Amino acid sequence: MQARTIAILGATGSIGTQALDIAGRYPERFRVSCLTAASSAEKLFELVRRFRPDTAALNTEPDRLPEDVRFCQWFFGPDATVRALLAAKPRDALCAIVGIAGLDAVWHALDVCERVLLANKEALVTGGSLVTAKAARMGVPLLPVDSEHSAIFQCLQARQGNPVKKLWLTCSGGALRSWKKQDMYAATVRDVLAHPTWRMGGKITVDCATMVNKGLEVIEARHLFDMPAEKIGVVIHPQSVVHSMVEFEDGAVLAQLGMPDMRGPIGYAMGFPDRLPYDATPLDLAALGHLDFAAPDHDRFPCLKLAVGALKRGGSAPVILNGANEVAVAAFLRERIPFGRIPEIIDAALQSVPAGPVASIADVYAADRAAREYARARL
């Protein structure tokens, strides 16, 4: 077997490093040909030494470029990721940059890659049908990396042409799942980053605590699986063992289960259609004893409804939701605003920033700028 070339965009992050763990286990399958990060220069140098890509990129030029990483072609600056990707022309690209900052990379990966492995949900929340239409036009599959969407994608392999009645996304409930409403407003960064089941980057961990993450995932599912919002349900499942489900017309519900470990869905996308063993903890249902499910509490977690509302409104509303959320979450992580301000800022942006049609990527960026300006002024 000839190793497939793969770019890992956002290589120093939570998803990126776990993808490299898988790639490192299967050198005969994967040749990492492009590695990128924003500013974690030392971390990226280490990865470059180990994986020896053709190209590498950082958004900011480091003070020094060590001699032993100079064998590859380096790119620096705000569009360095895309330039490194286009120069490497890998067969696959794992898009694991966080936020709308990753949209450009997804967009260009669709030009040069055979497959796009998508962790960067914000690219789909904001780029929406522009991204899926381009993927279809270019004949490039978008393989989900997000665990819920990977679960649905895996269940859909058994579909055999049958119509789907409903998609069910499971949701851990985040770090504040059992908090009282009156305590949530002042939850600290430390409280919020203590996610019960998953270890992830800071932004998505905050998104889980507000549950905007599940809203972003409903929007992501809408685009990935071409399902209307009404046919996408959310159920709280604190153990994160049932990763999501597909309901068919005869009432049968297929689910994908496993211990929470992102290397499962990452490896599934990387190896698709093959399953690549790694040192996964086996699922022991008897030891777990029980799995719990509950309906989401929209009173304590208003962001889920805000996101689904934005999806139903359409046009640039999801872009506004996402832009306001990115600004609010960054401010919360810098301890500039309390946790409770995050949903307030998103809600206010959705009410105040005019939403319009989105016909091009330029429209997406214009709506994002307007949402960010508004949200920054509200901090």
Report the interface residues with ligand NDP, using CB under 6 A. 10-16, 37-40, 59, 81, 96-98, 101, 119-122, 146, 198, 200-201, 203-204, 262
- CB of 324 closer than 8 Å to CB of 171: no
Indicate the residue among 146 and 247 with the shorter CB distance to Mg ion: 146
Residue whose Cβ sits closest to ligand NDP: 13
SS3 296: coil
- Pair of tokens at residue 172: 């851990």
Alpha-carbon distance 200 to 147, whole Å?
12
Nearest to 326 by CA among 102, 175, 54, 14: 102
Q: Closest CB to Mg ion among 203 and 372?
A: 203
Residue 365 sits at the vertex; the CA angle it makes with 364 and 370, to the nearest 5 degrees, is 100
The neighbour count for residue 107, using CB atoms within 10 Å, is 19
CB-wise, 170 or 316, nearer to Mg ion? 170
Q: How far is the CB of 354 from Mg ion (least distance, A)?
A: 30
Amino acid residing at 379: L
Phi, psi of 336 (to 5 degrees): -90, -25
- Structure token digits, residue 305: 């409804």
Query: Which residue, judged by CB position, is nearest to Mg ion in the bound state?
Result: 146
Integer CA distances (angstroms), 165 to 10, 26, 272, 280, 326, in order: 35, 38, 25, 32, 33
CB of 244 to Mg ion, least distance (A): 9
Nearer to ligand NDP by Cβ, of 146 and 247: the residue is 146
16 binds, among Mg ion, ligand NDP, none (CB under 5 to 8 A by kind): ligand NDP
Beta bridge partners of 30: 4
Instruction: Compare residues 38 and 192 and give the one whose CB is closer to ligand NDP.
Output: 38
Give the residue with the Cβ less far from ligand NDP, 108 or 121: 121
Cis peptide before 273 (omega within 30 of 0): yes
Using DSSP bridges, classify how beta strands 92-95 and 164-171 pair: parallel, antiparallel or unpaired: unpaired
Please report how close the Cβ of residue 76 comes to ligand NDP at its closest, in angstroms. Answer: 12
243 binds, among ligand NDP, Mg ion, none (CB under 5 to 8 A by kind): none
Choose the one of Mg ion, ligand NDP, none that binds residue 358, judging by a C-beta under 5 to 8 angstroms depending on kind. none
CB of 78 within 8 A of CB of 36?
no
Q: How far is the CB of 369 from Mg ion (least distance, A)?
A: 27
Give the nearest distance from C-beta 217 to Mg ion in angstroms. 5
Binding residues (CB under 5 A) for Mg ion: these are: 146-148
Please, what is the minimum distance in Å from the beta carbon of residue 79 to Mg ion? 28
260 contacts which partner out of ligand NDP, Mg ion, none, CB within 5 to 8 A by kind?
A: none
Nearer to ligand NDP, 24 or 354 (CB): 24
